[in-house]
């Protein structure tokens, strides 16, 4: 075959052969919440969801809420033993009274930590954030968008290492942050901001209650 014949054949292929069909654009699939987070979602929550609403995330308190008061109990016992050995015998009664009060306070802290660990849940949907309290009798309350938009994420050094933190949602007459020492605080904070700003997956639509209000 001569050179001009090869050029003619190549040109014929370019003109005659059809262009390949364009590939359809890839659409992002909604990410399913991790199984570990979904364990904190009560089974009967599905009955309360609105049309088109789905659960996206769930979180529970970190075990540090129990470990911290247990360490306080250990510190109280050690301090009592040291004080009993060092103070004069005439002051043993005062040491016993102070030690008993400190032990009682630390045990109350342990009880509160266990109750908070077992009876508190945070569940996020694509529309609302629910706070669930209680062990035998549960109380479920949705949070308002205004409070969620003003939420604050607080995470210390140990929280960043062990994966816990606090999401402070402004509440009237609240003595403690609402979501205190929670697992996966970054994800929980993201869900709060997503609900407050109308973000659903890859779509960002202002919430209806924010658009109709003046």
Rounded to whole angstroms, the Cα distance separating 167 from 189 reads: 6
Q: pLDDT at residue 5 above 80?
A: no
Q: Given pLDDT bands bounded at 50, 70 and 90, which one contains residue 16?
A: very low
What does the alpha-carbon distance between residue 123 and residue 45 come to, in Å, rounded to a whole number?
Answer: 9
Q: Enumerate the domain spans of the chain.
A: 57-212
Question: How many helices, marked H, and strands, marked E, lie in the chain?
Answer: 8, 9
Q: What pLDDT, on the 0 to 100 scale, is given for residue 2? A: 52
Rounded distance between C-alpha atoms, residue 107 and residue 91, angstroms: 24
Is a pLDDT exceeding 90 seen at residue 147?
A: no
For residue range 41-52, what is the model confidence (pLDDT) as tens digits? 667 777 788 888
Q: Look at 212 and 117; give whichever has higher pLDDT.
A: 117
CA distance 42 to 114: 19
Rounded Cα gap, residues 207 and 129, in angstroms = 14
- Determine the average pLDDT of the residues in 175-181: 88
What's 136's DSSP letter?
S
pLDDT of residue 176: 84
What is the Cα–Cα distance from 120 to 133, expressed in whole angstroms?
A: 5
Q: How far, in Å, CA of 35 to CA of 127, rounded? A: 20
Q: What is the pLDDT of residues 196-211, one digit of tens each?
A: 887 776 666 665 554 4
Predicted TM-score of the model (pTM) = 0.71
Query: Does residue 92 contact residue 84 with C-beta atoms inside 8 Å?
Result: yes
State percent of the chain over pLDDT 90: 40
* Residue range 11-24: mean pLDDT, rounded: 50
Looking at residue 22, its pLDDT comes to: 53
Task: Decide if pLDDT at 175 tops 50.
Answer: yes
């Amino acid at each position: 075959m001569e050179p001009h014949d090869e050029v003619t054949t190549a040109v014929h292929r370019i003109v005659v052969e059809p262009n390949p069909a364009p590939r359809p654009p890839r659409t992002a699939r909604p990410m399913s919440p991790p199984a570990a987070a979904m364990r904190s979602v009560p089974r009967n929550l599905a009955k309360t969801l609105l049309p088109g609403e789905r659960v996206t995330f769930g979180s529970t308190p970190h075990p540090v809420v129990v470990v911290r008061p247990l360490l306080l109990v250990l510190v109280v016992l050690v301090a009592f033993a040291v004080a009993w050995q060092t103070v004069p015998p005439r002051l043993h009664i005062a040491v016993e009274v102070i030690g008993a009060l400190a032990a009682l306070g630390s045990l109350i802290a342990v009880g509160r930590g266990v109750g908070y660990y077992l009876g508190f849940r945070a569940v996020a949907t694509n529309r609302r954030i629910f706070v669930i309290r209680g062990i035998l009798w549960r109380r479920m309350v949705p949070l308002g968008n205004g409070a969620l938009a003003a939420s604050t994420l607080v995470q210390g050094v140990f929280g960043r290492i062990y994966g816990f933190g606090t999401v402070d949602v402004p509440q009237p007459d609240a003595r403690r942050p609402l979501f205190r020492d929670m697992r996966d605080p970054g994800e929980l904070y993201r869900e709060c901001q997503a609900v407050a700003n109308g973000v659903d997956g890859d779509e960002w639509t202002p919430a209806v209650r924010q658009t109709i209000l003046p």
